[in-house]
Amino acid sequence: MSFLKIPGEGVKCVCPYCRKIFEWPPAEMKCPGCAKTVRPPGGYALPGKEERRKKIAKIHKDYERKHDELGPAPEFRPARNPAVLIGIVVAFCFVGLLLGTFSLHRDDPVQRAARDPLERTIHEMMFYATALEHYKLDIGNYPLSNKDGGLRALVEDPGEAEWSGPYAIRIKRDWWGNTYFYDCTNGVPTLASAGPDGEFGTGDDISAPAEWFTPHPGFVPNDPARMKARPAAPVMIGN
């Protein structure tokens, strides 16, 4: 409904339905033209609305006056108690220690791989292959097959004049409890594990490729420092 002048009694209004002009208020709050119910020009006001508006305005006014009287709030500065600061530092250190301990015990993929028999066997075979290469650089050839000493030559002196070992602390079985196969034919070494099933010639065998037989970059052949550390009486290995 649109207004023709200030709302109130006697105000001429236009019906929003039939566009008939009439004075407010109409009989029974219905348009004289279409008999449809119309609302007051200024809308309906809830009881006490004006009083509530005045109270709210007064509250705002009192707040502004009080704010001006008190002035700005003082700046808050926490007390610098050394004991409190030390306590905070200790608490952070404790939390950091707990987080570090938790991270060390997490069962992540790298740790699981380190406990995997396959991964451990491969890493061990790579170590033995490197040790065999160091043996060759000192002696001039690889050890003989297992039945003639084989990998034991990395730990015990087989009677070679240039032996400057040990090249390994001990020779272990693979991580399934089986003995490693070693042989050297025509100067070509063969190092293998029977794998999980413990039988050679099956699909789970693990053979050391040629690239594993590589010396450590820092290895020095016939190093005098190692030769001085040789035992006085070499251990001979019988057939």
pLDDT tens readout for residues 20-72: 998 888 888 899 999 998 877 666 555 566 777 788 888 888 878 887 877 77
Cα separation, 48 vs 71, in Å, equals 35
Short-list 163, 162, 161, CA closest to 153: 163
- Looking at the fold, whether 35 and 128 belong to one and the same domain comes out as no
Q: Using the structure block, give the residue that is written with the tokens 């190093």.
A: 223
Residue 192 carries which DSSP code?
E
CB 190 within 8 A of CB 207: yes
Q: Domain count of the chain?
A: 2
pLDDT digits (tens, 9 = 90+) for 129-165: 999 999 999 999 999 876 657 899 999 988 888 888 8
Q: Using the structure block, give the residue that is written with the tokens 């219905």.
A: 30
- Please list, in sequence order, all residues whose beta carbon lies within 8 angstroms of the beta carbon of residue 95, skipping any fewer than 6 positions away: none
List the domain range (segments joined by +) for residue 164.
Answer: 117-228
Cα separation, 152 vs 144, in Å, equals 10
> Does 102 or 91 have the greater pLDDT score?
91
Q: Report the run of H or E that residue 190 belongs to, with start and end.
A: strand 188-193
Cα separation, 158 vs 143, in Å, equals 9
pLDDT digits (tens, 9 = 90+) for 201-224: 999 999 999 999 999 998 888 887
Please indicate, yes or no, if residue 77 is contained in any of the structural domains: no
- Please list, in sequence order, all residues whose beta carbon lies within 8 angstroms of the beta carbon of residue 236, skipping any fewer than 6 positions away: 157, 158, 159
Please indicate, yes or no, if residue 91 is contained in any of the structural domains: no
Residue 230, pLDDT score? 56
**Which pairs count as long-range contacts for 5-8, CB under 8 Å and 24+ apart, including other chains?**
7/40, 7/41, 7/42
- Looking at the fold, whether 39 and 129 belong to one and the same domain comes out as no
Residue 237, pLDDT score? 35
CB 142 within 8 A of CB 87: no
Cα separation, 3 vs 38, in Å, equals 13
The confidence band for 236, taking pLDDT boundaries of 50, 70 and 90, is very low
**Residue 215's beta-bridge partner residues?**
none
CB 169 within 8 A of CB 128: no
Please indicate, yes or no, if residue 187 is contained in any of the structural domains: yes
Residue 67, pLDDT score? 75
CATH code of residue 148: 3.30.700.10
Residue 63, pLDDT score? 79
The yes-or-no verdict on residue 6 having pLDDT over 50 is no
Report percent pLDDT > 90 for the chain.
36
Cα separation, 113 vs 232, in Å, equals 42
The confidence band for 78, taking pLDDT boundaries of 50, 70 and 90, is low
Cα separation, 185 vs 21, in Å, equals 119
Q: Using the structure block, give the residue that is written with the tokens 């035992």.
A: 231
Sign of the alpha-carbon torsion through 185, 145, 201, 122: negative
Residue 114, pLDDT score? 53
Please indicate, yes or no, if residue 9 is contained in any of the structural domains: yes
Residue 90, pLDDT score? 79
Please indicate, yes or no, if residue 75 is contained in any of the structural domains: no
